[in-house]
Amino acid sequence: MKARVHIMLKTGVLDPQGEAVRHALGSLGFDGVDGVRQGKVIELDLTESDPEAAKAEVTKMCEALLANTVIERYDVELV
């Protein structure tokens, strides 16, 4: 089973990388972009076959290591 974790900065947290991308897009002539938020996606190959147990385990991984829960939010998707 695969799990995909989407990690983004929480609303209200400054995103300098996203702002740099927005600025670069404007410099390239893409003027219709008002804001950019940049995040990350982590894919995990799991040996667990039970979806509920897999999601619980990935959630523990996010809380312990994968996401900085002070400034980031995450969503776990089983694929």
> Where residue 53 sits, what CATH number does that domain have?
3.30.1280.10
Instruction: Supply the pTM of this predicted model.
Output: 0.89
**Range(s) of the domain holding residue 25:** 2-78
Give 17's contacts (C-beta < 8 A, 6+ positions apart).
38
Q: For a pLDDT cut of 70, what percent of the chain falls above it?
A: 100
Q: What is the pLDDT of residue 32?
A: 93
Counting the structural domains of the chain, the total is 1
pLDDT for 9-49, tens place per residue?
A: 999 999 999 999 999 999 999 999 999 999 999 999 999 99
Question: Do residues 51 and 78 make contact, with C-beta atoms less than 8 angstroms apart?
Answer: yes
Q: What is the pLDDT of residue 49?
A: 95
Q: What is the pLDDT of residue 30?
A: 96
